[in-house]
Chain A
Amino acid sequence: MSDSRLTDRLEVAAHTRNLALVREFLHGAIKRSALPATDINKVVLAVDEAVANTIQHGYEGRDPGNVEILIEADSERFSVKIRDSGVSYDTAKGIESKADLDLQKHIASGNKRGLGLFIMRKVMDEVSYTSREGDRNELTLVKYIKPRN
């Protein structure tokens, strides 16, 4: 359905103080999309985790650049691309890894790392990452709106 098609874009400086702005932008976009209201908080959380990872790891020890958030949605899927020009970060390895985090063991050891990636995978149906040297990195998160047959 063409009336559920949606694109939107936000570019912010790669600083954690802008996460609130990112969440507000997402709330607005999701409300205009075909995603059910019950998914709003979860999808906002997953994208917040992704953007926070990009800001914290992609620009570690470097001058902060910008992070671009691109939303493309239709009646079947809600897709968010997070683009940055920072270094390729460790999360990418986690995304490629098939192994799931043993959460209880992880938490019992007092380990806090990897929880953001766990949330991204738990909430979203697709999580993928591409990185090219000298070019931008792109993390894509997709939530299906209708079950695929």
Chain B
Amino acid sequence: MREFEINLEQLSPEVTLIHVAGWLDAHTFEYMEQTINNLFDEGKVRLAVDLSSVEYISSAGAGVFIGTLSASHERGGDIVLMNPTEPVREVFDMLGLSQVFKFAKTGPEAVKLLKK
């Protein structure tokens, strides 16, 4: 089982897709946070996050997305989450985050939601 892995893909000139795999917990969340901060530093503020391979998420992991939501808005950007697995969906529902975030099933749908 992969502990944690992040891969980046440019979905469109403006939208960066972050593929996340493995466990997003109190041990790995800082790596996720750092990746997003680096993207912000590069001016990439429209982010889609593919959660289809995240096997586990705790509040530390969910907290990264909460922070990113407000930080991206402050920079004129936004964040869209894609295809959360059942364990991720359970935690998001528990924390009331399923109503807070935008969700997309496909790359084109995410790009459309992230348009200015």
B63 near A20 (CB under 8 angstroms)?
Answer: no
Q: A20-B23, A20-B27, A110-B69 are in contact. Are A49 and B97 (CB under 8 A)?
A: no
Complex interface residues of chain A between 12 and 46 (CB less than 8 A to chain B) = 16-17, 19-20, 23, 41-42, 45
Q: Is A103 on the interface with B (CB-CB < 8 A)?
A: yes
B66 near A20 (CB under 8 angstroms)?
Answer: no
Residue in contact with B26 in the complex, picked from A56, A110, A123, CB distance below 8 Å: A56
CB distance from A43 to the nearest CB of B (A): 12
Count of residues in B whose CB is under 8 Å from the partner chain: 25
**Number of CB contacts from chain A to chain B under 8 A:** 68
- Chain B residues within an 8 Å CB radius of A20: 3, 23, 25, 27
Q: Which of A58-66, A111-119, A135-143 contacts B (4 or more CB under 8 A)?
A: A111-119
Chain B interface (Cβ < 8 Å from any Cβ of A): 3, 23, 25-27, 56, 58-60, 62-64, 66-67, 69-71, 87, 90-91, 94-97, 100
Beyond the given A20-B27, A107-B95, please list 15 additional residue pairs across the A-B interface where CB-CB is below 8 A: A19-B25, A19-B27, A23-B56, A41-B90, A49-B59, A52-B26, A103-B95, A104-B96, A107-B96, A110-B70, A112-B67, A115-B62, A115-B95, A118-B59, A123-B94
Chain A interface (Cβ < 8 Å from any Cβ of B): 16-17, 19-20, 23, 41-42, 45, 48-49, 52, 55-56, 103-104, 107-112, 115-116, 118-119, 122-123
